[in-house]
Structure 1
Amino acid sequence: MSDAISFEEPWARTHQFDPPALFDELRAKRPLARMEYPDGHIGWIVSSYELARSVLSDLRFSHSTEVGHFPVTHRGQVMPNHPRIPGMFIHMDPPDHTHYRRMLTGEFTARRAQLLAPRAEAVAAEQIEVLKRLGPGADLVKNFAKPLSLRVLSEFVGLPYDQVHRYGHAPTLLHDTDADPQEVVAAMGEAAAFFAEVIADRRADPRDDLISRLIAGGELSDEELGNMVTLLLFAGYETTESALAVGVFALLHHQDQLKALRAEPAKLDGAIEELLRYLSVNQYDTYRTAREDVELAGETVREGDSVTVSLPAANRDPAKFGCPAALDIDRETSGHVAFGFGIHQCLGQNLARVELRAGFSALLRAFPDLDLAVAFEDVPLRLKGSVFAVKSLPVTW
């Protein structure tokens, strides 16, 4: 159709922190716009805040691999329908989704996450010492954001961090559109084999970790457990690491906001929410498939149509957030959709906030003169793929 935009148009950021200006035009004229996917399928893309929440909360839109039309992955490959993968509940609809997710809900409450705060703070302090030993020019991604996110999540789930070489690189490769597909498959296989070993060990020798508690529940097979561990790691590690690293990059670029935060550290929680809204690092793979014909924004979305929801565009909607292109740590950010919305809203968001708070707090205390060690324009970015990220962030102090 002549009015359908190309699938490629919404993903190339026009500035280090900004989604394409195309979204401003779409939001004003056709917030539900036709989009041509790489396999030729004509679906839709949502750019407004209200429509994003509407689609993501409407059970007439499916996220199941069994009924969905998933015309593309973040590597540009067509993904055929396939039977549901036991335990991989992110790609299920109720009641299967509900069955698996309820087993984890109590593990990720705000109260439970706060119990992990001291450990997150201790890990952050240890990584601060690593940065100090390396000295100015150290890479904040490699030596702080990655290990903080991965260590805290691994310990909580029950993955021995002293064997991180067997699983830690798999999520990074999966989210990297430039990675060799064969290398990705190999890394995924190695991680799955390691998870199976850990699960077998916990069945024989339970510990105080999530895997052991899920085993004690008695409802899950080894296959289901392995896939749930995979989902938790792959959904929770890269996103939190990227939110921390890109958040630091954004603050270092917006020195007025960094100065205000240093002057009033009590504003940190609000600053984190604003950074989550402003950056929306979960930028790419939020899509649904219509299970039936749905009337939406004056259009008829036909059964089988794909609907991509742009979280970055929704979080920059001026109808919800005044002057949305500005980073403002004093902004009222309640309701932002950086963690999604509806039944698939990020399960681990409370844990992510604990890790982000620990990371930002440690950096602000340890390095009152933290700055970039390279020019702003020379910070390498990963602009495409499911997670917006900085590949490295050399810093000085």
Structure 2
Amino acid sequence: MTETLTCPAGGAQPLPQYPMERAAQCPLAPAPTAQKLRAEKPITKVRIWNGGTPWLITRHADQRALLTDPRVSDDDLDPGFPYVNAHRAEIAPLSPRMITNTDAPEHTRLRRTVNGPFVIKRIEKMREPIQKIVDDLIDEMLAGPSEADLLKTFALPVPSLVIAELLGVPYKDHDFFQSSSSTVLDSTVPPAKAREVSGALAAYLDKLLEEKMAAPGNDVLSEMGGRVKTGEMSRVEAVNMGVAMLIAGHETTATMISLGTLALLQHPDQLALLRDTDDPKVIANAVDEVLRYLSIVQTGVRRVAKEDIEIGGVVIKAGDGMIFDLHAANWDPEAFPEAERLDLTRPARQHQAFGYGPHQCLGQNLARLELQVVYGTLYRRIPTLRLDAEITELEFDHTGTTYGVHSLPVTW
């Protein structure tokens, strides 16, 4: 039976399905239904893959209020937690407690054990190595034919090389962790297969962690190995944190490089602003505006209420799930006037592309740095870069946690 909501006018309407379809003619914009709900019913129930009916939160201000409310939980063992797919629902009871599925004080303890390598001061020291990675890859592109799939030849290798260097993972194994990450994040993969691949990735990281504990290097895995030795975190916690970093550290940034390039190529006036400047402040602001404009975490941030919460004229009951549509909030005209317009001069730092509150993305400083180097280098070094297909011919990827393209053919 289809659940319905009774509207004030009297009629009954079926609950919208989430995630929502994007308009084919506007593939970079939030789903039209999500934008309509933000204007008319910014806190409303939707239906997800398993028939569950969590609340969908689409306004910028409501998201900020709820994501900092201690009554809103990231505990994915709560029966009301709105899992993103069947695989996540199946493995949740088997998964160790991490920063991605715990609340304070456990979340605070775990976050403290891994926060150090990602603070701005330490991340900024990686600017020169990242610049070399980017320049070397562009050199390789320019040495070959004047056409390429930017996703495969540039967007994926950049963050893969960076996260490998940061974690201390041999880049020679990048094919393994790239394909494993894609499988784990693909909502169309059978849960058993995803679980098998997750186990293989964890076994790989466990072996590498053991090597780092015996012979530490100057990398994050060695640092976590030291914390395991002192009892600050368990070995299982360290391995699973390494897996999470390896997956999140390249998948999302690769998508932002390719999809960001596509967005900029669709707005040549904005691309010119970025291409013709070497001002780091201008470039940093441009990165935040592209992050706001695209908000690539398609499946939304998921939470569950631990107590009744009254907000926006509705009561979210204890045990109710919540989905925060980041893209809809980042196009909220109350927070960003003319939000549908890509404007690299807009003060966009208050976007929620990395989430918000205590669970805000751990790797956001690294992602920003990578994008600053990429956006500040690629279009300057290849000023004639252009899309080698019509945007309507591109195949967009809806299967994972992020929203992107399967390939991005370019020429110059």
Instruction: Please report the TM-score for the alignment, with normalisation by the length of structure 1.
Output: 0.94
Matched to 1:254, the amino acid is H
Deviation (angstroms), 1:71: 3.9
CA gap 1:9/1:202 in 2 versus in 1, 3 angstroms: closer
Which stretches of structure 1, 4 residues or longer, exceed 6 Å deviation after superposition?
Answer: none
Q: Select 2:364's aligned residue among 334, 345, 349.
A: 349
Choose which of 1, 4, 8 in structure 2 pairs with 1:2.
4
Change (3 A) 1:82 1:378: closer
> What's the CA shift for 1:78?
7.7
- The residue that corresponds to 2:268 in the other structure is 255
Identity level (%): 32
Give the length in aligned residue pairs. Answer: 396
2:408 is the counterpart of 1:359: no
Output the amino acid matched with 2:363.
Answer: G
Segment drifting more, 171-180 vs 77-86: 77-86
Aligned-partner SS, 1:374: coil
CA spacing shift, 1:5–1:34, aligned 2, 3 Å: farther
CA contact (8 A) 2:4 2:15 kept: no
Label 1:65 to 1:136 Cα distance change in 2 as closer, same or farther (>3 A): same
CA deviation map 1:196-236 (0-9, x unaligned): 11011011111100111122232222211110101112222
Residue pair 1:71, 1:78 contacting (<8 A) in 2 also: no
Which runs of no fewer than 5 residues in structure 2 stay unpaired?
A: 6-12
Tell me what 2:46 maps to. 35
Partner SS, residue 307 of structure 1: strand
**1:350: Cα distance to partner?**
0.5
Change (3 A) 1:194 1:82: closer
1:144-178 deviation line (CA, Å, top 9, x unaligned): 11110011011101111112233221112222334
Distance in 2 separating the partners of 1:242 and 1:161: 19
RMSD: 2.0
Match of 2:401 in 1: 386
1:246 to 249, 253, 259: 259
The answer to which of 93-102 and 182-191 deviates more is 182-191
The aligned runs of 1:1-397 (5 Å cut-off) are 1-3=3-5, 6=15, 8-14=17-23, 15-67=26-78, 69-73=80-84, 75=85, 79=89, 82-83=92-93, 85-86=95-96, 88-179=98-189, 181-217=191-227, 218=230, 219-266=232-279, 267-397=282-412
Quote the Cα distance in structure 2 between the aligned partners of 1:358 and 1:190. 33
Q: Quick one: distance in 2 between partners of 1:181 and 1:27?
A: 33
Q: Aligned letter for 2:100?
A: I
Output the amino acid matched with 1:378. Answer: E
Query: For the residues of structure 1 that align with 2:345 and 2:79, how far apart are their CA atoms?
Result: 40
CA separation of 1:199 and 1:9: change in aligned 2, threshold 3 A: closer
Greater shift, 43-52 or 218-227, is seen at 218-227
Aligned residues of 2:354 and 2:361 also touching (Cα < 8 A): yes
**Contact persistence 1:370–1:395 (CA under 8 A):** yes
Evaluate the alpha carbon distance shift between residue 80 and residue 327 of structure 1 in structure 2; reply closer, same or farther with a 3 A threshold.
same
The amino acid that maps onto 2:290 is L
* Letter in structure 2 aligned against 1:166: F
* Shift of residue 251, structure 1, vs aligned partner: 0.5
The answer to whether the Cα contact below 8 Å between 1:39 and 1:78 also exists between their aligned partners in 2 is: no
Residues in 2 aligned to 1:22 and 1:351: alpha-carbon distance in whole angstroms: 33
TM-score (ref. length: structure 2): 0.91
Which range is displaced more, 350-359 or 254-263? 254-263
Q: What are structure 1's unaligned runs of at least 5 residues?
A: none
